[in-house]
Amino acid sequence: MGSGTVWKQHIKKHDLTAKDIHTEILLETEDYRNLQKVALEYSAKFLVVENSDFANLVPEDGSCPVKYTDFTKRATPEYREKMSIALKGKPKSEEHKAKMKPFEKGHIPWNKGVSAPYCRTEETREKMKAAQIKRNLKSLKERFDPIIENLLYDLQSLGSVQKVKEKYKITYMTIQRIKKIYGK
């Protein structure tokens, strides 16, 4: 029992050296349940996780200690960069290449023969276009609903799209869309 697979983390946590570590056998048995029971009792009695005298990062609950391993450090950009550098340019042995070949043989990549913009069907493109127009219309309505009456009035009274563009600071295309939406 014990979390021997994660001792390095515990040693680092308690700032220990190799000289500080020694092993003592407390029980020898072939009965797994008895071993588990004694380990749980011992773990609770001596608080093996908090105590730096023990090389345990996890309580002795009879489970695999890997579930307690801190994998969050692997998510940091520094760690990923370090691993990337360490693995780049590492030559593969002939034995490794030979093992990989059967898995690669006959395998067709999922994207073979597909080029990005052309892989969408005409129907998909139409749906995407309709969704984009709907989003644009919603955005325009949210922006211009409060002032639409004034804007349309100015379009009629000023008689010039240029003056409306300058007054409301909008483009000619936006004015055309507004006319299309509000039908005036």
The ranges assigned to domains in the chain are 4-73, 124-182
Residue 67: the pLDDT is 55
In angstroms, the CA 157 to CA 171 distance is: 19
Residue 1: the pLDDT is 40
* pLDDT level of residue 26 (50, 70, 90 thresholds): confident
Sign of the torsion angle spanned by Cα atoms 125, 129, 134, 139 = positive
Which residues have C-beta within 8 Å of that of residue 132, sequence separation ≥ 6? none
* pLDDT level of residue 131 (50, 70, 90 thresholds): very high
* pLDDT over threshold 50, residue 3: no
Q: Indicate the pTM of the whole model.
A: 0.30
Average pLDDT of the segment spanning 38-67: 70
For 149, list phi and psi in degrees, rounded to 5.
Answer: -60, -45
* pLDDT level of residue 59 (50, 70, 90 thresholds): low
Residue pLDDT, tens place only, 68-89: 556 666 778 888 888 888 888 8
DSSP state, residue 18:
G
